[in-house]
Structure formats: C-alpha cells, structure tokens
C-alpha cells in the first residue's frame, strides 16, 4: 500500500488516498484504483488557509471523522476575526464500528456541541485572551492556560470536576526563554494531588541553549534523578 497526497497551488493539503496491489516482483503499481476508500483523508480550506472541513476514513473505508471547524463569521463570506478556531463539530454517523474505534482512540476529537454564535468568545470549546493566546479548552479539560510575556506557556490548570484525571502542568524557563523544567501535577477526580505525587523533568543546556541532557525526578523525598535522554550536540528536538 502507498499514499498519494494532493495539494493545491498554495501547498495546502487537499487529499490523502491509499493505493494497493503493488507488484513486488517488478516493483510497479499496475492498479491505479484507490484502496476502496481506505485511510482516505480530505480537507477544504478558506482563502486564508484555515481548515474548514476534514473527512477521515479507517482501514475498512468507514467514515470515522466528518469534521467542521467553526470560526468567527464562519457562516458568512466576511473575513474571520483573527482566524481563531472556536469549536469543532463531528457529523460522523454513530455505529458499532465507530464506537469500537473511539474506545481505542481516546484522544480523538469528539463533537463539541452547537456552535454558539451569540456568545462566541465564551460559549464554545476554545477561548482566547485579548492578544489571541488560547486560554481554555473544554474538551481537554483545560480550565486556564497562563502565558509568559514572551509568549510561552507558564501553567496549564485542569478543571476540578469529579471526572477530571488529567494533570496540571507547570513550565519554567531561563533568562533566554529556554525551557529548563516541567512539573506534572496529577489530579484524581478533579482533586490536585500532594507535592509528593509530582513528577519533574529538568533540561540541561550548553551556553548556546542547546539541550544536552534530560533528567526525570519522579520520587520526591529521594535523591535519585534518571537520565532519560542525552542529546549529542543538542541536536534532538525538544518535545512537550
């Protein structure tokens, strides 16, 4: 199987299609018919490059995502205010196969309810501050995102609802804006756990700010740090 990607003249991804029937002996693809719609992914965009819709199919060709992205003025021809995404709707029909898929893909985007055009800044899944930074995400149970004056995330607070088991996150930076530590603060049923449950990650850097090593400290009260990554010449990419 191979994938064919189609782009428009502005290099925006429009479609990904899967093909099969490769002739391994001759290293050719004699059949140019798509793989029965399997793994197909299509997009539409507005003139400014915002994704408007996305359609995704699974390994059997069934639709697993039929997404519509809602922006300010999304239902008019007017320009979208600051290109901010406020919610995503999923029109995928429900069924046994989809239910089984979603049981496996727990991080998949679900339908985020009716798009509230009356109170667009506060009545939808995503909210923003005055300069456009994302400050909340209801589906991810993020109650607030605190930013530094340099545009870096300082703190992510989760909702204190009874079904929230996602952790708070704290990030610290040096004077040059390089991340030097991350603190994971677990929640159980919305309740923030004590300091002894926190997990720490420390990033050591050279004089140029390149990451040289990453250490984890997951047992407060001990003096044990685990070296989890050693980046030669600081060339590895720093993840979240």
Of 95, 128, 161, the last residue of a domain is 128
**Number of alpha carbons in the 13 Å side-chain half-sphere of residue 202:** 9
Cβ–Cβ < 8 Å for 191, 183:
no
pLDDT of residue 18: 85
Of 94, 128, 162, the last residue of a domain is 128
Of residues 233, 204, 208, the one with CA closest to residue 216: 204
pLDDT of residue 48: 86
Residue written as token pair 């992510």: 156
Whole-number percent of the chain with pLDDT over 70: 84
* Residue 219 resides in a domain: yes
* Residue 154 resides in a domain: yes
Q: How many domains does the chain have?
A: 2
State whether 120 and 15 are in the same domain: yes
Render pLDDT for 186-207 as a digit per residue (tens, 0 to 9). 999 999 999 999 999 999 988 8
Range of the domain at 68: 1-128
pLDDT of residue 27: 73
In three-state secondary structure terms, 178 is coil
Would you state the structure tokens that stand for residue 19, as one six-digit string? 């093909």
pLDDT of residue 231: 65
Cβ–Cβ < 8 Å for 134, 128:
yes
Query: Average per-residue pLDDT in the chain?
Result: 85
Would you state the structure tokens that stand for residue 47, as one six-digit string? 């003139």
* Residue 135 resides in a domain: no
Render pLDDT for 31-90 as a digit per residue (tens, 0 to 9). 666 677 888 999 999 888 899 999 999 888 888 899 999 998 755 555 677 789 999 999
């Amino acid at each position: 199987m191979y994938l064919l990607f189609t782009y428009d003249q502005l290099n925006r991804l429009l479609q990904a299609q899967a093909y099969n029937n490769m002739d391994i002996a001759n290293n050719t693809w004699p059949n140019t018919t798509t793989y029965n719609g399997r793994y197909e992914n299509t997009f539409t965009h507005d003139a400014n490059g915002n994704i408007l819709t996305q359609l995704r199919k699974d390994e059997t060709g069934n639709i697993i995502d039929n997404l519509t992205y809602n922006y300010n003025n999304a239902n008019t021809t007017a320009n979208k205010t600051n290109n901010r995404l406020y919610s995503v709707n999923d029109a995928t029909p429900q069924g046994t196969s989809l239910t089984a898929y979603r049981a496996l893909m727990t991080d998949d985007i679900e339908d985020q309810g009716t798009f509230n055009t009356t109170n667009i800044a506060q009545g939808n899944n995503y909210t923003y501050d005055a300069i456009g930074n994302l400050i909340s995400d209801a589906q991810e149970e993020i109650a607030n995102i605190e930013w530094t004056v340099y545009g870096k995330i300082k703190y992510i607070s989760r909702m204190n609802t009874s079904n929230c088991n996602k952790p708070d996150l704290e990030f610290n930076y040096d004077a040059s804006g390089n991340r030097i530590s991350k603190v994971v603060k677990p929640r159980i049923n919305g309740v923030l756990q004590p300091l002894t449950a926190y997990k720490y990650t420390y990033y050591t850097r050279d004089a140029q700010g390149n990451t040289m090593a990453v250490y984890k400290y997951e047992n407060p009260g001990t003096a044990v740090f685990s070296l989890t990554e050693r980046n030669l010449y600081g060339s590895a990419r720093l993840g979240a």
